[in-house]
Amino acid sequence: MNRSLRRALLWSGGLAALAVAAVGLWRALPWIAERIALRELSAAGVQVTALTVESISLDHVSVAKVALNEDSVRVDGIDVDYSLRDLPDLKIRRITVHGARITAAWKDGRFDFAPLEGFTGQGSGGAPPEIPAMLIGSDVVLDDAVATVTGLPGGPVTMPLSAEISVESASRVLAMIKASAETGAARLALRANADIDPATGAVSVAAQLDDGKVATPYGQVAGLSGAATLATAQGSIPSVELQLSARRMSSPLGGFAGAQLTASVDGTSAQAGLTLPGDDGRSRIVLTAKADNWAEDDVSFAVTSKVSGFSIATMPEVPKGPVTFGERPLAFAMTAKGRVRDPLTIDPANPATWIDRVTADGALDFDLPDIGVAPLLERATGHGDLHLSLARSVLTVETRSGVSLATEGVDVASFGYTLPPRIARRLENEIVFDLAPGPNPLLILRESGEGPVEAELDNLWRVSTTDGVTLAGSVRGSAAIDPDDGKISAWQVERAAFSLSGYDDAFQGLRLDQARIVVSGDSDALEGIWSVAGGGDLALGEGGAFDAVQAILSGGIAYADSTLRLQLGKDTKVMTGGGSIGGAVRVEPFAVTAAAADGPLVAVTRGEAGTTIRGGLVLRPSDVTGAVRPTEAGEAIPFTLSIPGVSLSATGALPGDGADLRYDATVSVKGGALAMPTVQVAGSGIDLDMTVDRSAIDGVLTIAQLRQTRPPPIVAPVAVTAKTRLAGDSLTFDVRAEDKSGALVVDAKGTHDLSRGTGTGDITLYPLTFVADGGLQPVTVFPIASRHMSTTNGVVSAGGGVSWGPGGIDSDIELKIEDFSTLAGDIAIEGVNGVVTFDGLTPPSTLPDQVISVAGVTAGLPLTNGAIVGGMRDGLPYITETEWKWAGGTVSSTPIRITQDGQIEDFTLSLENIGLEALLNLTPEGDNIEATGTLNGKVPMSFRNGGFQVIEGRLETAGPGILRYKSEAFSGDFVASNQGLGLFLQAVENFAYDSIRIDLDGQSGDQIEIALHIDGKNPDLYGGTPFELNLSVSGRLDEIFRRSLETFRVPDAVRERIQELESR
């Protein structure tokens, strides 16, 4: 083989081997490219979780998948076009990124975009990063990219975007970006052009926003558009211009058209402005702000805001909600200016980091329209000014013209709070709060950075209502406030004064004309004075009140050891113009003297378990006069009540767990006296002890002696004990009256409704058993009986129910009389039995036709076996009918009535079928008389000088009869000397009469004169010649009466009624 051939073969073999090697290297290029990319990305601090080089050629590389930093950046594909003339001169012409998915988090006020931070860092020595030569002249295209921002308050936002970036040279990069975002609440479209100089770090950006919209729970913005420019260079402060406008805005305040927002930053100066024109053409909100040296350590600022002509009620499209507005325009103006040192070191959540770095002066002037917040507040309005100044950690607040706020229709019940009706009623009306300007600031706060905040107060304020109530006060002092919890650790009061006037319903209708407190001191102790002046008509429940009460009280006030004490000063008179109690008692004007008790008038102590309250008062002796009217139709009964003194004391507790106030009060009266002269009643030794708490008022009233002053009294003196309990409007009582002998015992128990003035009760008179021989007699329990009653036997008791109301008193009390006998002067009453039902007590009255049986009574004539039908009306007894047995016949009467002065009206007895012989047998000569026939007639009766008298009564026989009289009482000599008597005795030995008339006339208890007029004849005398005989006889009625009692028995109807009552 020649040299040429060997040389050819060698070159051929070498080329073949080189070709084989080249093919192997080319196939390994994708793997080599992946390794190089992973190394470079890892060196840049980028965590690569996926990277696949799909293919590589002389002018193109295709990457299939890229994932960086836990999928913060994901790319579907990347195409890179380049020019490979030779390896040192590699030029990338175009990079196309397909389907990029970029996720960034909003965190701590900035975007956390860690995956790309390695590409945006500084170059060596702090210079901007250099653009690789291979990228100069290339284009970068972002195709079908999506950016997602997380951590936003409204949730994640996803924005489709596209970008075209042209790297023209090492000092100029041009970019055009399009992005859009649309969620349920917003739609935005943004276009931006950027011109970047990588060599110097200069950036110029122009952005455009087109037809965006934003919706929030508070309103919507439509037609949002604007432009923004940004220019910056390395080491310089960016320059920013921003202009935004909204075609339409809606909010709770109404609608706005053509809203404008401008902002600019030029070097170290920044300013912004916002203008909101209202739909009504009048309203306008303007806000401006400016800051100088904002990027430096010492920033000055100025802010102004102004609202004018703003009437929310007339604004269209105001959403309906709990907040309402009136038609009056809102006026609001605020200005503030000052300086801030080291703003970047300020922590907004920590006042200590900014209060000593800020120096500011501001003013706020406002005129609020009628604003309502349902259901809490119907209307609120106000106007005024506040001026604030902050310098060297000292905040000063003052007012130049004052502040006035007014509310109406405040309903705290909507928040679950319950207030007393008289306070809730005032909150419904207009309440005005006025804060007056003064020579000193209202408030000064000093913050030292360590320890408490020092506060100084100096204010003058007033709260007034439409019904004339005014609360005014002024406070001048200082306090130390813990900045962590806001608690006051120490305070000093130079002078604090509070006054309340015009309060017309302080307590049960009383009016508080003036109340004043002036104090000074510190957190350890306070001292001062207080005074209260007031009066009015004091309401005492349904139908009761004290009229024209007037009082002026004053004293000292002190606070120490967590206890506030009010001391009563000099003795003070409390006067009243009189009044009424329960509608039945009228009190004349009187005065009492209030004096301090042993201890403070009021002491309030606050402890860990809550607040305790205690106090006491003494009322000096006083006489109270008035009148009692038991019923509306009854007469008034005057009285005088002497009160030696009244002691009042009270304790209370307000638990710290929020429970209701608990309290106990006592009222004590000792040794009182009562006089009621017109009804001749007096009481002495009157004691009253009352206890009051949240549930009830309990009382015990004792009267050592309640007596009648008339001589002699009707009822013996009694001791009275009454126990009462008032719970709400219900009054229960338990009363016992008992005389010193223990024989007379009366109980009364029941309830009374104060709101209705009605009540019910039960009254019991325990049995009075009278025994003539050494036992109980009426005079013991009824002293008046000494004039009329003696030698009494029998049992008297009573009991039943009582009810009352505005119309009077009704009852069903039954008075039971059993086997009652007595001597009433010269009238003998025997065997009284019956049950009388009283249907009224003031005055006493009974049901009609009450029946009482009487075995016998001597009242001018001896009457037996009687039955009385009658009753009592208007306090006076009456008899409608009565019937008695007498002399074998029947005696009845016309109605018998008793007058108001205690006299018995004249009445007439009617006698029927009175046996002539029985009548004559009642005379001393009755045993010697024999007669036939009956008498009829009428006997008028009259009550004179304490006894009954027969006035010209007449009886006549019903027809002829026989009269025989023969007596040995007349001797022959006496008859012989009296010719007329002898003739009469002869005639009546056997006298056939045609008629007999008997005339009665006499005094009860004495001889009664009986005159006989007889017409007839004696067949044995003078041949039966007719003639007339006249004879008068007399006898003692008490002896005659007793002869007739042996045949008497209680009628069956009366006995059955008594047995029925006993069986109950």
pLDDT average, residue stretch 766-789 = 87
Query: Is the per-residue pLDDT at 86 higher than 70?
Result: no
Instruction: Assess whether 1041 and 1055 both reside in one domain.
Output: no
- pLDDT score of 40: 60
- pLDDT score of 298: 79
- pLDDT score of 1043: 40
- pLDDT score of 819: 93
128: tokens are: 């901007």
Query: Is the per-residue pLDDT at 981 higher than 70?
Result: no
* Plot region of 887 (φ>0 → left; ψ -120 to 50 → alpha; else → beta): left
Instruction: Assess whether 840 and 758 both reside in one domain.
Output: yes
What are the b/e assignments for 253-272, b being 16+ CB within 10 Å?
Answer: bbbbeebebbbbbeeeebbb
For residue 508, the SS3 value is coil
- pLDDT score of 763: 95
Classify residue 785: in a domain, yes or no.
yes
Instruction: Assess whether 737 and 846 both reside in one domain.
Output: yes
pLDDT average, residue stretch 355-378 = 80
Instruction: Assess whether 1056 and 985 both reside in one domain.
Output: no
Q: Which of 549-563, 648-662, 669-683 has the lowest mean pLDDT?
A: 648-662
Instruction: Assess whether 742 and 759 both reside in one domain.
Output: yes
- Whether residue 711 is preceded by a cis peptide bond, meaning omega within 30 degrees of 0, is no
Q: Which of 764-778, 1016-1030, 1044-1058 has the lowest mean pLDDT?
A: 1044-1058
DSSP 42: H
- pLDDT score of 884: 86
- pLDDT score of 78: 81
Instruction: Assess whether 753 and 880 both reside in one domain.
Output: yes
Classify residue 794: in a domain, yes or no.
yes
Q: How sure is the predictor about 1054, in pLDDT bands with cuts at 50, 70 and 90?
A: very low
Provide the terminal-to-terminal Cα distance of the chain, rounded to the nearest Å. Answer: 166
> Cβ-count burial of 6 within 10 angstroms (0-12 exposed, 13-18 middle, 19+ buried)?
exposed
Question: How many whole angstroms separate alpha carbon 953 and alpha carbon 906?
Answer: 13
- pLDDT score of 9: 45
- pLDDT score of 980: 63
- pLDDT score of 282: 72
- pLDDT score of 100: 80
Query: Is the per-residue pLDDT at 127 higher than 50?
Result: yes
Instruction: Assess whether 893 and 936 both reside in one domain.
Output: no
- pLDDT score of 988: 81
Instruction: Assess whether 870 and 1007 both reside in one domain.
Output: no
- pLDDT score of 761: 94
Domain range for 992 is 927-1045
- pLDDT score of 656: 65
Classify residue 1033: in a domain, yes or no.
yes
pLDDT average, residue stretch 748-768 = 91
Length of the chain (residues): 1064
Q: What is the DSSP string of 512-540?
A: EEEEEEEEEEESSEEEEEEEEEEEEEEE-
Classify residue 915: in a domain, yes or no.
no
Question: How many whole angstroms separate alpha carbon 163 and alpha carbon 647?
Answer: 95
Query: Is the per-residue pLDDT at 396 higher than 70?
Result: yes
Query: Is the per-residue pLDDT at 280 higher than 80?
Result: no
pLDDT average, residue stretch 905-913 = 90
Using an 8 Å Cβ cutoff, are 915 and 888 in contact?
yes
Classify residue 824: in a domain, yes or no.
yes
Q: How sure is the predictor about 799, in pLDDT bands with cuts at 50, 70 and 90?
A: very high
Strands 563-568 and 545-560: antiparallel
Question: How many whole angstroms separate alpha carbon 406 and alpha carbon 328?
Answer: 14
Strands 579-581 and 585-587: antiparallel
Summarised one tens digit per residue, pLDDT across range 932-951 is 999 999 988 887 766 677 88
Structural domain total, the chain: 2
- pLDDT score of 491: 78
Classify residue 509: in a domain, yes or no.
no
Query: Is the per-residue pLDDT at 1050 higher than 50?
Result: no
- pLDDT score of 783: 86
- pLDDT score of 970: 59
Summarised one tens digit per residue, pLDDT across range 716-743 is 999 999 999 988 888 999 999 999 999 9
* Plot region of 449 (φ>0 → left; ψ -120 to 50 → alpha; else → beta): left
Q: How sure is the predictor about 348, in pLDDT bands with cuts at 50, 70 and 90?
A: low
- pLDDT score of 24: 46
Query: Is the per-residue pLDDT at 369 higher than 60?
Result: yes
Instruction: Assess whether 1054 and 1040 both reside in one domain.
Output: no
Closest CA to 576 of 612, 622, 543: 622
- pLDDT score of 972: 58
Q: Which of 135-149, 176-190, 702-716 has the highest mean pLDDT?
A: 702-716
Instruction: Assess whether 895 and 983 both reside in one domain.
Output: no
971: tokens are: 């001797």
pLDDT average, residue stretch 148-173 = 78
- What mean pLDDT is reported for the chain? 78
Instruction: Assess whether 977 and 1000 both reside in one domain.
Output: yes
pLDDT average, residue stretch 426-431 = 77
- pLDDT score of 698: 92
Q: What letter represents residue 553's amino acid?
A: L
Q: Which of 64-78, 296-310, 746-760 has the highest mean pLDDT?
A: 746-760
- Whether residue 843 is preceded by a cis peptide bond, meaning omega within 30 degrees of 0, is yes
Instruction: Assess whether 755 and 788 both reside in one domain.
Output: yes
Q: Which of 382-386, 683-687, 986-990 has the lowest mean pLDDT?
A: 986-990
Question: How many whole angstroms separate alpha carbon 340 and alpha carbon 360?
Answer: 8
- pLDDT score of 45: 58
Question: How many whole angstroms separate alpha carbon 707 and alpha carbon 535?
Answer: 37
Q: Which of 103-117, 162-176, 195-209, 720-734 has the highest mean pLDDT?
A: 720-734
Classify residue 536: in a domain, yes or no.
no
Maximal CA-CA distance, the chain: 239
Question: How many whole angstroms separate alpha carbon 385 and alpha carbon 364?
Answer: 5
Classify residue 933: in a domain, yes or no.
yes
DSSP 267: T
> Cβ-count burial of 297 within 10 angstroms (0-12 exposed, 13-18 middle, 19+ buried)?
exposed
- Give the rounded percent of residues in the chain with a pLDDT score beyond 90: 13
Query: Is the per-residue pLDDT at 255 higher than 80?
Result: no
Q: Which of 94-108, 668-682, 996-1010 has the highest mean pLDDT?
A: 668-682
